Amino acid sequence: MQIWACTSSSPDANQQFTLTSTPGSGASTGGPDSVTIPVAAGSAAQVTGNLVSLSIEQDRWLDWSGNATQNTFFFNCLDNIVQITGVPPKIRIGADSEDHTNFNPNVQGVQDSFPPPTTTVPYPEATSIVAAYFARFIGTGVTWGVNFGGANLTAVFLETQAIISAFASSAFTQAGITLDNLELGNEADLYTNNGLRTSGFNIQQYTTQWIQFATNLTAAAKLSSSKTRLWAGAFAESSHSSTGFSPQGIFANNILSSAPGAFIETISQHHYSGSFCSGSGGLLQDLMTKATIRSNLSSFSPDIQAVHGQGLNYVFGETNSYSCHGAPGVSNTAGAALWTLDYALFASQIGATQVYFHEGVGYKVRGTLIQPATLTRSILDGSALSSPLASHVQPQYYAAIIIAEAIGSSGSTQVVELTINDSRMAGYAFYESGTLKRAVFINSLAWLSTSTGTRPSTHVSLAFSGGSGSTSFTVKRLVIGHADDASGLTWGGQTYETSDGRVGGTATTESGTVAAGIDIPATQAVMLTFT
């Protein structure tokens, strides 16, 4: 297998920066609004350059890594992030297909059995995966999912041994590849729905079985002499209570006091903003709505507090816009890039250290950052394409780039959400070593291909309070034609929609002054860098 690492003056710290949003040319998205931004970070959340990470469906991970040769396109897409932040996105390999995977040392790579495609799910997950594990990595931290759904202790033992052996090989160690975590099972709260457990399977039974199988796994992995640790949880949703599937539920059933519980370092939960398994696909503006993003994620605050109360790390280990591979005309659009930008940054505000956007070959949502392989069927309805579609990035990838640039490479970045009384405008301030450096603003009002009239815009008036400060800034814009466009975005005048995944075009920035402020059209994001 093959996953890579891709290997000014500031305002006075006692001053505060004030933003006011007032109507500009065209209709306003709301306001006037105002917000005060502390120049010193204070208790703003710490954030790392791999806040945006990737969850990859296990059945076709060789399409991402490459089989006989490295997948250069995917490598380049990861390396773009590394060149900005100094660290690669973390990668989780698992999801639904992890509970259908078994190890066979005589298999070369992976043997998959797929159900037929449908118009709703043009690229379905494999129902059976037989894999052998081999090493051809160039560096990143990996979490690997192990089959718990099959309820076979011997299979867990053999699979774990094979994974450990691969990561211990010289190809891994020389490249700096680490097996950060093992994850036992995916979305066990759905096991009774998909036939992997009998009716009535509950949190008490889950925890008892998990402890039994995790004891076997930790022995096979020799975790007592390893830096590899365990993810626990990975539930599809949460009861947010001690009696159902949730972090509180496994804690109440003494998972942490068990022998394998001592190796749990991270609790992972899954979340999608909606579902498109059947029926209406949902509206793009609904996905982009600021209030919806916050209500969706804030529902996990009790879980996150419970996890942090145990001294553990919390991640959204699988997430994206719509489950069942996404909604056509929504999940694969430029509007979803703005959703991703706001969603990931807001997740950092409630205590998540990484947000793993789920990826899959040919998925409308699981794979909306990067499509790593040539496709022969439409991702929207499964129809045959007149010509193959080569590897390419999709709109959400721009959000990963913007977040990487906003965080930077200092290793000491903090971020705080700005209070803006505008239902369509979100903002975040970024600090390095406690000092304000950048701000990102997102205008999530959907300007669609069917929209008419003058494109709305919000004028953001800027001022400092408490004394003199920076008088100027540079601006980069995420320019989008329409929220429902599937391509054609530019960030600072440049594109990542290239044949090799590298940035193309000439970089452009604007110069601005605090006195003049800035206009932000509907369906656009900007980053201000204070000078």
The DSSP string of 437-483 is: EEEEEEE-----TT--SSPPEEEEEEEEESS----EEEEEEEE-S-T
Q: Give pLDDT, residue 360.
A: 77
Q: Which residues contact 332 (CB under 8 A, 6 or more apart)?
A: 326, 364, 365, 368, 379, 380, 394, 395, 486
CB hemisphere CA count around 203 (13 angstroms): 23
The CA-CA-CA angle for residues 98, 64, 329, to 5°, reads 90
Helix (H) or strand (E) holding 296: helix 290-298
Burial class (CB in 10 A: 0-12, 13-18, 19+), 161: middle
Q: Give pLDDT, residue 124.
A: 62
Q: Give pLDDT, residue 326.
A: 44
- pTM, 2 dp: 0.89
Q: Give pLDDT, residue 463.
A: 66
Q: Give pLDDT, residue 139.
A: 67
CATH topology of domain 16-46+412-530: Immunoglobulin-like (2.60.40)
Contact (Cβ atoms closer than 8 angstroms) between residue 173 and residue 39: no
Q: Give pLDDT, residue 461.
A: 80
The CA-CA-CA angle for residues 361, 77, 137, to 5°, reads 80
Using the Cα atoms of residue 128, residue 134, residue 139 and residue 141 in order, give the sign of their dihedral: positive
Q: Give pLDDT, residue 146.
A: 96
Q: Give pLDDT, residue 376.
A: 77
Indicate the domain borders of the chain: 16-46+412-530, 52-407
Token pair listed for 289:
């709505």
In CATH, the number for domain 52-407 is 3.20.20.80
The mean pLDDT values, 10 residues at a time, for the chain of 531 residues are: 34 36 41 67 95 90 79 92 95 89 74 66 60 58 95 93 86 80 97 96 98 97 94 96 98 98 98 57 73 94 98 96 54 87 98 94 62 78 82 95 98 94 92 93 93 92 62 94 94 98 97 85 96 84
Extract the runs of DSSP E, i.e. beta strands, from 289-362: 313-323, 354-359
